[in-house]
């Protein structure tokens, strides 16, 4: 039996899309108030780079702005994300609770490895009471390289994991599995791309499918 399942958060467990546009608009309205932005909010550009660590996101969205301003926008964005989570404007994907309950009952340990920031991840875990199933949530902030493969390695080393499956929607999740010698399950959800999912060992359209897919990977 696999000892662990390591889940991505955004676009895998949490429907980030429900609060993304609201929060991003707020962040760019802040820039407009500072006379640092005068066009539309680059929501589609952000969708294409979902999964990147936020420092990389702001480098991409604001290439001509100072690092100090990017940090200011990042702080504002994070504040709005958390407010929207706590206001109930977000949502988990269907069947997260059912899948987690089943997997823990079968003896699997569950971890989260995300490119999201710690405070943001804690807000989601707390609001949806995921701590009842999740052993620990790991943020990309915890490692210097900002490489998800290294973050997954941190989990493996801390908990002496011998066998695991990484579940996520983007190539960074699939590569994190490969670089650590683990199996991967791609989630064909909102931000997923077909060319990236094709590199996963298995692909699912609903988290409830984990009830059959995970045991099959153990055989």
Per-residue 3-state assignment (H helix, E strand, C coil) for 26-40: HHHHHHHHCCCCCCC
- Domain ranges, residue 71: 17-86
Closest by CA to 27, choosing from 64, 87, 82, is: 82
| Dihedral, 200, 196, 92, 102 alpha carbons, nearest 10 | 0
**Residues 50, 115 within the same domain:** no
Looking at residue 219, its pLDDT comes to 65
Q: Please compute the mean of the pLDDT values over residues 47-66 and round it to a whole number.
A: 87
How many residues comprise the chain? 219
**Residues 32, 79 within the same domain:** yes
Per-residue 3-state assignment (H helix, E strand, C coil) for 84-138: HHHCCCCCECCCHHHHHHHHHHCCCEEEEEECCCHHHHHHHHHHCCHHHCEEEEE
**Residues 127, 74 within the same domain:** no
Last residue of a domain, one of 86, 116, 143: 86
Last residue of a domain, one of 36, 66, 86: 86
**Residues 184, 95 within the same domain:** yes
Strand partners, 114: 139
- pTM score: 0.91
**Residues 106, 65 within the same domain:** no
Last residue of a domain, one of 86, 109, 140: 86
Least confident of 41-50, 77-86, 94-103: 41-50
What CATH number corresponds to the domain at position 139?
3.40.50.1000
Per-residue pLDDT band at 1 (split at 50, 70, 90): very low
Looking at residue 156, its pLDDT comes to 96
């Amino acid at each position: 039996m696999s000892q662990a399942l390591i889940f991505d958060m955004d676009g895998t467990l949490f429907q980030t899309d429900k609060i993304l546009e609201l929060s991003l608009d707020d962040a760019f309205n802040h820039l407009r108030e500072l006379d640092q932005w005068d066009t539309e909010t680059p929501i589609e550009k952000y969708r294409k780079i979902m999964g990147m660590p936020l420092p990389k996101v702001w480098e991409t969205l604001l290439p001509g702005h100072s690092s100090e301003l990017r940090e200011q926008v990042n702080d504002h964005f994070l504040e709005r994300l958390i407010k929207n989570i706590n206001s109930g404007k977000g949502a988990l994907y269907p069947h997260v609770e059912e899948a987690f309950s089943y997997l823990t009952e079968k003896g699997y340990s569950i971890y989260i490895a995300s490119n999201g920031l710690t405070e943001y991840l804690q807000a989601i875990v707390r609001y949806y009471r995921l701590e009842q199933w999740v052993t620990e949530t790991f943020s990309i902030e915890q490692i210097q390289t900002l490489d998800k493969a290294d973050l997954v390695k941190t989990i493996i080393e801390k908990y002496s994991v011998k066998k695991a499956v990484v579940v996520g929607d983007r190539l960074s999740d699939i590569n994190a599995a490969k670089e650590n010698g683990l199996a991967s399950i791609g989630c064909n959800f909102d931000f997923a791309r077909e060319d990236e999912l094709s590199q996963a060992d298995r692909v699912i359209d609903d988290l409830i499918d984990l009830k059959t897919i995970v045991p099959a990977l153990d055989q």
